[in-house]
């Protein structure tokens, strides 16, 4: 089998790239090692920057997002027992974010790909990439008990942090940067109305918390927890009780509790690989970088990667020019590092770091006090939260 672009991974970045390429008449095949049900079952965040929303519109999958997504013009930060609002819309000249779950984004993209008739191979086993340092890349895999070979012009590695694409790059050709945080996020999803119409970020002596949502009737809550904790150690009752201890009195009064639909613990890390291009292999999304979820940048960074990569591929097939592909890594990394900085800053601002001691706690309080006494500081937060320009 032959195609123009082989895409490894059917997460949001791979599906979005595939949808854009298909609409541009550029042949592509997506290979995914899991089932569609498994991919849809992964619970992820869902705060979308306007740039990501515009790309989903360009891909023709924005209708349900605009019908069901929740437009947010601000966030709240709770510290020292008081909530403080960050007016995202007012501070950025009218920009907002939209809350729309990553699962829903993935479903919309899957439905669009199915309708387009473009090829997706799920449960592709033993995927390997070859020849990307030359002019004739090949992807080999097994499916249905048989060996297959996919010839292509380019390979897009959208297969996540643990995927095969980055691991296939010679170690001498790549450099990685990583910060592993000494705690995790315990997340609970419930069929309950959100405690507030906007997200509440909580800095508390017991640890960070986040009150988020997926819709008007489905809520997502997070607690900072130890990396030694196990999900089974946290009953629903214990979770709700601990969340209440970190919230203000008004939020506790408004909080509607209920049985969890899903509960999980996620470690936090900052990670970047450089470069993101290796001959005819390009890394995008989590294959090239990870951010802690505090700044809501994971899915949005994947979208900006796809923006730059799609533009480069479209230029190549329309004009035979390689300038966009040649500039892909540098352009993407400039935006990635700015998002990494913001996510790192938000994480350090709001979480408890045991190793930092009382001095570190005082520094956090001073930073929060300064933040809400300075319009310039609030504007910087708002500009980064709604998304820096592509």
Q: How confident is the model at residue 142 (pLDDT cuts 50, 70, 90)?
A: very high
pLDDT at 46: 85
Q: Is the pLDDT of residue 18 over 90?
A: yes
Residue 261's φ and ψ, nearest 5 degrees, are -85, -35
pTM: 0.95
Spatial distance between the Cα atoms of 306 and 328, rounded to a whole number of angstroms: 10
Q: What is the CA radius of gyration of the chain?
A: 21
User: Do 31 and 1 meet the contact criterion of CB atoms below 8 Å apart?
Assistant: no
pLDDT at 117 over 90: yes
Burial of 244: CB neighbours in 10 Å, binned 0-12, 13-18, 19+: middle
Mean pLDDT of the chain: 96
Binned at pLDDT 50, 70 and 90, residue 87 comes out as very high
Chain centroid offset of residue 2 CA: 31
**Hey, what domains does the chain have and what are their CATH numbers?**
5-72+96-177+269-347 (3.50.50.60), 183-268+352-386 (3.30.9.10)
The SS3 of residue 62 is coil
DSSP assignment string, 314-376: HHHHHH---HHHHHHHHHHHHHHHHHHHHHHHHHHHHS--GGGHHHHHHHHHHHHHHHTT-HH
**Residue with token string 């605009």:** 66
**SS3 of residue 290 by DSSP:** strand
CA distance 118 to 96: 33
Give the pLDDT of residue 132.
Answer: 98
- For the four alpha carbons of 157, 162, 164 and 165, in that order, the dihedral sign comes to positive
Rounded distance, CA 232 to CA 306, Å? Answer: 37
Select from 278, 277, 272, 336 the least CA-distant residue to 303: 336
Using pLDDT thresholds of 50, 70 and 90, give the confidence band for residue 76: very high
Task: Please tell me the distance from the alpha carbon of residue 215 to that of residue 278, in angstroms, as a whole number.
Answer: 40
237-263 tens-digit pLDDT: 999 999 999 999 999 999 999 999 999
Residue 152: which of 305, 308, 313 has the closest Cα? 313
Average pLDDT value for residue range 367-371: 97
Above 80 in pLDDT, residue 45? no
* pLDDT the model gives residue 67: 97
Instruction: State pLDDT tens for residues 186-240.
Output: 999 999 999 999 999 999 999 999 999 999 999 999 999 999 999 999 999 999 9
Quickly list H helices, the chain. Answer: 12-23, 36-41, 50-58, 63-68, 88-91, 102-116, 164-167, 236-246, 249-254, 298-319, 323-350, 357-371, 375-386
Q: Please choose, from the candidates 97, 246, 103, the residue with its C-alpha nearest in 3D space to the C-alpha of residue 186.
A: 246
Q: Give the model confidence (pLDDT) of 164-179 as tens digits.
A: 999 999 999 999 999 9
Active site residues: 72, 201, 293, 297, 385
Of 31, 1, 87, 6, which Cα lies nearest the Cα of 282?
6
- The whole-number average pLDDT for the span 343-357 is 95
> What's the distance, CA 359 to chain centroid?
32
pLDDT bracket for residue 44 (50, 70, 90): confident
Residue pointed to by tokens 């170690």: 171
State residue 27's pLDDT score.
98
**Contact in structure between 278 and 174 (CB atoms under 8 Å):** yes
Give the pLDDT confidence score for residue 41 in this predicted structure: 83
**pLDDT for the residue 42:** 76
């Amino acid at each position: 089998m032959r195609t123009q672009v082989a895409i490894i991974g059917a997460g949001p970045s791979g599906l979005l790239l595939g949808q854009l390429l298909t609409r541009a008449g550029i042949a592509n095949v997506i290979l995914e090692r899991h089932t569609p049900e498994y991919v849809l079952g992964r619970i992820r965040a869902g705060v979308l920057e306007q740039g990501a929303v515009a790309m989903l519109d360009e891909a023709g999958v924005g209708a349900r997002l605009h019908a069901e997504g929740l437009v947010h013009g601000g966030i709240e930060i709770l510290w020292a027992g008081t909530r403080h609002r960050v007016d995202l819309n007012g501070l950025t000249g009218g920009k907002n974010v939209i809350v729309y779950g990553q699962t829903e984004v993935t479903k919309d993209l899957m439905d669009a790909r199915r309708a387009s008739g473009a090829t997706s191979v799920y449960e592709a086993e033993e995927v390997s990439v070859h020849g990307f340092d030359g002019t004739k890349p090949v992807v080999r895999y097994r499916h249905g008990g048989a060996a297959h070979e996919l010839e292509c012009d380019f390979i897009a590695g959208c297969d996540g942090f643990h995927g095969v694409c980055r691991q296939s790059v010679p170690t001498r050709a790549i450099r990685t940067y990583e910060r592993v945080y000494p705690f995790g996020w315990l997340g609970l999803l419930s069929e309950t109305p959100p405690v507030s119409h906007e997200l509440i970020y909580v800095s508390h002596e017991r640890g960070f918390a986040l009150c988020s949502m997926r819709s008007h009737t489905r809520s997502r809550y997070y607690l900072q927890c130890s990396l030694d904790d196990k999900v089974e150690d946290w009953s629903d009752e214990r979770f709700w009780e601990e969340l209440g201890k970190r919230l203000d009195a008004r939020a506790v009064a408004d909080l509607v509790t209920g049985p969890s639909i899903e509960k999980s613990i996620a470690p936090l890390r900052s990670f970047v690989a450089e470069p993101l291009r290796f001959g005819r292999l390009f890394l995008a999304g989590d294959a090239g970088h990870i951010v802690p979820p505090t700044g809501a940048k994971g899915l949005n960074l994947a979208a900006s990667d796809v923006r730059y990569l799609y533009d480069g591929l479209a230029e190549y097939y329309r004009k035979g020019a390689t300038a966009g592909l040649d500039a892909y890594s540098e352009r993407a990394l400039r935006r990635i590092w700015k998002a990494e900085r913001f996510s790192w800053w938000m994480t350090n601002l709001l979480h408890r770091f045991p190793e930092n001691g009382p001095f570190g706690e005082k520094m956090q309080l001073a930073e929060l006090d300064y933040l809400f006494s300075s319009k310039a500081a609030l504007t910087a937060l708002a500009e980064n939260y709604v998304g820096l320009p592509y």
